[in-house]
């Protein structure tokens, strides 16, 4: 009879393992799904003078096959890739405007100063005067178009940042909700592996927008923080980001967590940080350069002793 019981326990364990394998195969293409496996142990019998080989096998638990270190590396890599992706998107559009002859300020300045040089050699030439006026008008149009482009880029960055902040708040609220579900599931002895996969998928999406640090508490919940340490999620509680512009038009990022407000460094990494770095870096430099070139043109048109082109 003992042999039958042992064999039966083996069949039950094998059947359980096949169910888990079937689950793995069914979710092979499910985003964020982690493979599962069973943990088995032998069933020990007591007594019988040491003459019992045991009572078979039992399934102790279902193991989630996941390496947290590697998962964290994936999240960090995702933040970096997302940062450079959004940065490249804006830089490419800026490069097109700068590098195209029809819109380039460099081309316009070359044509303008060439016409100005021709007029200085033939100050009485009506054709040279008209050519300079034409080039001056063309250059003014280029400056206006460049200024419009810079303003449109600022508007685009602001709108995209506001959208990202809303998405971040939605993701952090979702992570906090999964923390709650996982703790409740674990407390009743249930299998929370699928919930953990779904939570990790939300963290992966969150890492697209910002560089985050994730630690797992002893109760199985995630604590999620910005790279500088400000908390986004702690247990069942999620913070809320907000974005605005100060009096100078510079972006301001704030975090409200448990009725406490934090002022954040907008250079957060990920796509959100890329927007800030582009706006205050390359775009601000371009705006300054355009203003400098406009002043240079104005100075070049100032004639000695009050002379003017007629």
258 — alpha (psi -120 to 50), left (phi > 0) or beta?
A: left
Q: Which residue range(s) make up the domain with 168?
A: 70-100+160-293
Element (H, E) at 234: strand 231-234
CB 231 within 8 A of CB 221: no
- Average pLDDT in the 8-13 region? 78
Instruction: Tell me the mean pLDDT in the region 145-169.
Output: 94
**241 compared with 31, residue with greater pLDDT:** 241
- Is there a domain that residue 199 lies in? yes
Residue 48 in domain: no
Write down the pLDDT at residue 61: 74
- Predicted local confidence at residue 52, as pLDDT: 65
- Residues 56 and 59: their CA atoms lie apart, in Å, by 11
> In the prediction, which pLDDT does 47 show?
58
Residues 6+ apart with CB under 8 A from 284: none
Report field, pTM of the whole predicted structure over 0.85: no
Residue range 198-203: mean pLDDT, rounded: 96
- 169 within some domain: yes
* Number of domains the chain contains: 1
Tell me whether residue 1 is in a domain: no
Tell whether 6 is covered by a domain.
no
Do residues 274 and 84 make contact, with C-beta atoms less than 8 angstroms apart? yes
Q: Do the domain assignments include residue 243?
A: yes
Q: Say if 83 falls within a structural domain.
A: yes
The residue among 55, 31, 35, 58 whose CA lies nearest residue 45 is: 55
Radius of gyration (Cα) for the chain, nearest Å? 33
On the question of pLDDT at 307 being above 60, the answer is no
User: Mean of the per-residue pLDDT values for the chain?
Assistant: 86
Residues above pLDDT 90, as percent of the chain: 41
**For residue 201, what are its two tokens?**
């998928």
Q: Is 218 among the domain residues? A: yes
Residue 270 has pLDDT above 50, yes or no: yes
The tokens describing 282, both together, are 């390359």
The answer, yes or no, to whether residue 1 has pLDDT greater than 60, is no
For tokens 């890492």, name the residue.
207
Q: What is the pLDDT of residues 163-181, one digit of tens each?
A: 999 999 999 999 999 999 9
Of the given ranges (45-59, 92-106, 232-246), which has the lowest mean pLDDT?
45-59
Relative to beta strand 212-216, strand 260-264 is: unpaired
Please report the pLDDT score of residue 142 as a whole number: 87
């Amino acid at each position: 009879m003992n042999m039958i019981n042992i064999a039966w326990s083996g069949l039950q364990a094998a059947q359980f393992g096949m169910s888990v394998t079937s689950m793995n195969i069914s979710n092979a293409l499910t985003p964020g799904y982690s493979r599962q496996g069973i943990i088995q142990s032998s069933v020990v019998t007591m007594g019988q003078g040491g003459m019992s080989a045991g009572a078979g096998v039992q399934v102790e638990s279902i193991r989630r096959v996941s390496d947290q270190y590697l998962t964290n590396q994936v999240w960090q890599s995702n933040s970096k890739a997302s940062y450079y992706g959004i940065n490249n998107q804006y830089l490419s559009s800026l490069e097109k405007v700068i590098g195209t002859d029809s819109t380039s300020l460099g081309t316009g300045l070359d044509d303008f100063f060439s016409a100005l040089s021709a007029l200085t050699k033939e100050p009485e030439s009506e054709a040279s005067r008209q050519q300079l006026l034409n080039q001056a008008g063309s250059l003014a149009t280029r400056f206006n178009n460049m200024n419009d482009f810079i303003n449109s880029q600022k508007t685009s960055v602001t709108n995209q940042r506001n959208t990202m902040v809303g998405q971040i708040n939605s993701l952090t609220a979702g992570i906090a909700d999964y923390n709650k579900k996982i703790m409740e599931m674990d407390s009743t002895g249930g299998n929370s592996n699928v919930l953990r996969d779904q939570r990790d998928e939300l963290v992966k999406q969150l890492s697209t927008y910002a560089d985050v640090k994730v630690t797992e508490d002893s109760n199985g919940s995630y604590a999620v923080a910005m790279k500088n340490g400000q908390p986004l999620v702690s247990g069942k509680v999620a913070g809320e980001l907000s974005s605005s512009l100060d009096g100078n038009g510079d972006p301001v990022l704030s975090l409200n967590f448990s009725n406490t407000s934090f002022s954040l460094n907008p250079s957060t990494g990920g796509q959100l940080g890329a927007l800030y770095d582009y706006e205050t870096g390359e775009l601000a430099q371009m705006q300054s350069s355009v203003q400098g070139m406009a002043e240079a043109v104005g100075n070049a048109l100032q004639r000695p002793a009050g002379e003017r082109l007629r």
